[in-house]
């Protein structure tokens, strides 16, 4: 059944009002008629089966038929801090990261980040990024849409990191040394209530200066397998492994 995230204001006691692009999707893309059922997600994470009552060109009214008792959210909060990569790689990370259960994304300007967005570009990008994570959340049947923060500096990221229980960063050098810290040993010491922050560098990774700063501020350097991963692959490896560890590996759950 097709899902739509409906903002707080759209929820009445027994009815839901859908506005904006989703109306077009219901009308033109899905070609739903009155009486059809959809799933509406509430910003608080709950979801309900709703029956379409009135479909017009600019709004859709639906009746709440049944609240669902479902939750496919990753049981542990994982925020991905991504050093700004080239081209549209960040869009790939946001889309796939959302499918894989990321709780939030923090883009940051790393020393080796080549791109640099001015305020105007930043705002345009954020609108597009939020559309991508909303659609990915609907597609993967998530109960919540990940938050995307505006781009910050590494210094600011380090300040923000005090809000997290487990602070990790992928360091390419870890994939090359023999006495590396295994990602498994790190996750074995993580409990489900911990908030994880995992930082991925841009192309070329973190500079030694950045790595030192991160180490000095309680970040653990981890490797994500022995192969050198592209920046956009690293976040996906981390999220897939965390999902596997906490959702698929029985002995750890």
Site residues for a second copy per CB under 8 A = 72, 92, 96, 99-101, 139-142, 175, 182-185, 187-188, 223-230, 233, 236-237, 240-241, 243-245, 247-252
Kindly tell me which of 113 and 143 has the beta carbon lying closer to a second copy.
143
CA nearest to 99, candidates 126, 133, 48, 76: 133
Minimum CB distance to a second copy, residue 83 (Å) = 17
As a whole number of angstroms, the distance between CA 153 and CA 43 comes to: 29
Rounded (to 5) percent helix, strand, coil in the chain = 40, 25, 40
Q: Which helix (H) or strand (E) holds 17?
A: strand 15-18
Minimum CB distance to a second copy, residue 39 (Å) = 13
Minimum CB distance to a second copy, residue 34 (Å) = 27
Minimum CB distance to a second copy, residue 9 (Å) = 27
Kindly tell me which of 70 and 212 has the beta carbon lying closer to a second copy.
70
8 A C-beta contact, residue 228 and residue 172: yes
Kindly tell me which of 26 and 175 has the beta carbon lying closer to a second copy.
175
As a whole number of angstroms, the distance between CA 137 and CA 131 comes to: 10
As a whole number of angstroms, the distance between CA 55 and CA 18 comes to: 10
Please state, as a whole number, how many other Cβ atoms lie within 10 Å of the Cβ of residue 59: 14
Kindly tell me which of 127 and 251 has the beta carbon lying closer to a second copy.
251
As a whole number of angstroms, the distance between CA 169 and CA 159 comes to: 15
Cβ within 8 Å of residue 154, ≥6 positions away: 108, 109, 110, 111, 210, 213
Kindly tell me which of 87 and 225 has the beta carbon lying closer to a second copy.
225
Minimum CB distance to a second copy, residue 41 (Å) = 13
Minimum CB distance to a second copy, residue 209 (Å) = 23
Kindly tell me which of 59 and 95 has the beta carbon lying closer to a second copy.
95
């Amino acid at each position: 059944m097709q899902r739509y995230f409906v903002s707080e204001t759209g929820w009445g006691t027994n009815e839901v009002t859908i506005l904006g692009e989703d109306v077009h999707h219901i009308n033109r893309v899905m070609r739903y008629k009155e009486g059809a059922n959809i799933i509406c997600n509430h910003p608080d994470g709950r979801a309900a089966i709703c029956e379409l009552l009135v479909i017009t060109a600019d709004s859709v009214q639906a009746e709440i038929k049944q609240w669902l008792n479902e939750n496919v959210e990753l049981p542990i909060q994982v925020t991905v801090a991504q050093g700004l990569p080239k081209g549209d790689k960040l869009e790939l990370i946001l889309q796939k990261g959302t499918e894989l259960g990321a709780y939030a994304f923090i883009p940051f300007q790393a020393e080796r980040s080549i791109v640099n967005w001015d305020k105007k570009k930043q705002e345009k990008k954020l609108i597009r990024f939020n559309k991508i994570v909303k659609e990915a959340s609907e597609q993967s049947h998530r109960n919540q849409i990940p938050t995307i923060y505006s781009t910050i500096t590494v210094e600011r990221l380090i300040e923000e990191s005090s809000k997290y229980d487990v602070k990790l960063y992928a360091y390419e050098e870890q994939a090359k040394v023999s006495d590396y810290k295994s990602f498994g040993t790190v996750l074995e010491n993580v409990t489900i209530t911990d908030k994880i922050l995992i930082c991925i560098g841009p192309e070329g990774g973190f500079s030694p200066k950045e790595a030192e700063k991160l180490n000095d501020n309680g970040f653990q350097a981890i490797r994500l397998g022995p192969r050198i991963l592209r920046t956009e692959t690293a976040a996906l490896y981390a999220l897939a492994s965390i999902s596997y560890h906490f959702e698929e590996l029985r002995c750890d759950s």
